[in-house]
Chains A and B, each alone.
Chain A
Amino acid sequence: MSDAVAVGPAYRSSRRRLAFLFAALVIAVLPLLLTSGYWRTNLTLCAINVLLAIGLDFILGYAGQLNLGQSAFYGLGAYVSTLLITKFGVHFWAAFAAGVAFAGLAGMILSLFAVRLRGHYLAIASLGFAVIVHQILLNWISLTQGPLGIYGIPPPPAIAIPGLPPIEFSNQVALFYLVSAFALLAYLLLDQLVRSPIGEALTAVREDEISAQSLGINANAWKVFAFGVGAAVGGAAGCFYATFVGTLVPDAFFITESFTILAMVIVGGMGTLIGPVFGAILLTLLPELLRDIGDLRLVVYGLALTLVVLFMPGGLVQGWELLRRKFAGARVAGGR
């Protein structure tokens, strides 16, 4: 993927720590400022979409594998955890772990295609995978109740802390804190990964596989790894989605959902982690801000995706860089 924005080697951990503290602060304050149920719903959706986007970006932006199957991992995480909870009475967090593991495993299975296929072929294979998963969810009625869907999915069980009132996740704010804390944690860990030699190996595979192998990088193994991690993160988003919405229907995981997630990654800036975060937030909130457009939400996504590819393939991150350079340049010019 030659148009991804390259990440510099700069290693400034103190500034990163400040940025993370700031992000945590924003997460803490937001639901206190936005008190309507409507906005709190949107905030939680933002956090879920952030997870989906950084998961896909790990596969697409870093390892360079065009995965159109993220909707399948999302759906598998949601259905596996929900079925374990509602049918087998498994504890939420055990079901959550199983959902994440199952999605990760599915990602590794799909990656076996990526090992043999490149570019367009992989795009269509992963799309085919997403179609199959959607169709199974739709047609395995005895298990998933098909198009009728599963209703009344409970929120995560309350966490009791001695000496304090228990944290009830039926409370919208508590659930938002839970999902966004997990998203922040996932971001932190992925950020460390991509800034390590693992990230170097993944980008090498993205840039030129044969060249990477000539440096001792086992390209296939890293593709399996990237798919496993990216899919697992998508699966986690699915688990949270199910418990947050309380209802599951297969059409929530139709292939167009993959395109939506793709739009978030591209609009934000693939090949950076921070870009997809803002891409996910922007594309979740933008249609809500332009309330009049209503049904045209996905038209906005499509338009944004097309325009960004045509005019700013590095996405918001590239735009930010351009702005910063412009202002830095202006300051230098002004100083003379």
Chain B
Amino acid sequence: MTATIVAQQIINGVVLGSLYVLVALGLTLIYGVLVQINFAHADFVTLGAFAAYFFMHLLGGSYLASIAVALLVGALLGVAINLAIFAPLRHKGSELLPLIATIGVSTMMQNAMLAVFGPVPYAFETPYSQRVFRVAGTFFTEQSVIIVLVSIATIALLYAFMKFTFLGKALRAVAQDRETAGLMGINPNYLIMLTIVLSSALAGMAGAMLAPVLVLTPFAGTSVIVKAFAIVIIGGFGNVEGTILAGLLVGLIESFTTQYLDPGLIDIVVFGLLLLMLVFRPTGLISERREENV
């Protein structure tokens, strides 16, 4: 019996974790290349979710097509935020101004969505939410299977892109050493645009995936993003493997806290871990140390 409960929590944790990884990967990609945080990432997730919802429920599209729509909406938002915020502020060389500006964008988007969509949760039903598998006493929906599979596929594609394509290598070069990357003959502005669009597309897609499982409100992304922040720090900013590991870890913490402690304690446990992490291992689970050059 206990083993079944534990197995069930592991399944729940992995499903949640996969969603968190999708959201956190976008943040960590941008950080790796720009050393910037996009606070509006959360609202890209939310808007992606709403786009998918309306595509399915108003236009009668299929769920899989609505994921693609969310991805597209995310990508467009990425173009917009780069043109409006990151590109103009890049030359000022400030670490904090872009962060503050994206907090502004996030506040704006979230409350605009609140005004348009209202605070009442939307029921995002997909054909896959109802079909349940039962294996050895545990159960999970087809939706969960889709979430995990799409996450794995996305991560694999991203990995392959970074490892085997020229653009991917250029991105990694920029992430590691921003000064010499220009020597590879690629316009860095182009690389930055690519990164932000990629990251935002991931956010939009994550929205379409998580809305059927969690609650779809204008705050859907925000509740996930604070955990995604914790994940990128626990995983080590800009570190893709660490982010995946930390995402799954946070998903598991959440499912086990819900089962054995109290759902209200989830954020306290996750952020407690984050703060401990920042004190004892600020470079993340998989660490790479840098000393400041004086």
Contacts and interface: CB of A to CB of B under 8 A. Distances in A.
Direct A–B contact in complex, judged by CB atoms less than 8 Å apart: yes
Interface of A: 1-3, 66, 112-113, 116-117, 119-121, 123-125, 127-129, 131-132, 135-136, 138-139, 210, 255-256, 259-260, 262-263, 266, 295-299, 301-307, 309-310, 313
Contacts of B145: none
Nearest to A138: B264
B278 A113 contact: yes
A282 to B, nearest CB: 15
Interface stretch (B64-72, B86-94, B178-186, B204-212): B86-94
Interface in B93-126: 93-97, 99-101, 103-112, 114-115
A298 B111 contact: yes
A256 B110 CA distance: 11
Contacts of A135: 264-265, 267-268, 271
A215 to B, nearest CB: 15
A3 B92 contact: yes
A262 B103 CA distance: 9
A20 B106 CA distance: 37
A132 B271 contact: yes
A124 B115 contact: no
B265 to A, nearest CB: 7
Scoring B36, B104, B268 by chain A CB atoms within 10 A of each residue's CB, the highest score goes to B104
B294 interface: yes
Interface of B: 31, 35-37, 84-85, 88-89, 92-97, 99-101, 103-112, 114-115, 226, 229-230, 233, 237, 262, 264-265, 267-268, 271-272, 274-275, 278-279, 282, 292, 294
Chain A interface SS verdict (over half) = helix
A136 B229 contact: no
A102 B101 CA distance: 31
A125 B104 contact: no
17 contacts: A112-B279, A120-B31, A120-B95, A121-B233, A121-B278, A124-B229, A129-B271, A132-B267, A132-B275, A136-B268, A259-B106, A299-B111, A299-B112, A302-B110, A303-B108, A309-B100, A310-B88
Contacts of B272: 132
B97 A123 contact: no
A309 B88 CA distance: 11
B115 A310 contact: no
A135 B93 CA distance: 35
A128 B271 CA distance: 6
A309 B268 contact: no
Contacts of A129: 271, 275
A302 B226 contact: no
Contacts of A297: 111
Contacts of A301: 104, 107
Contacts of B103: 259, 262, 302, 305
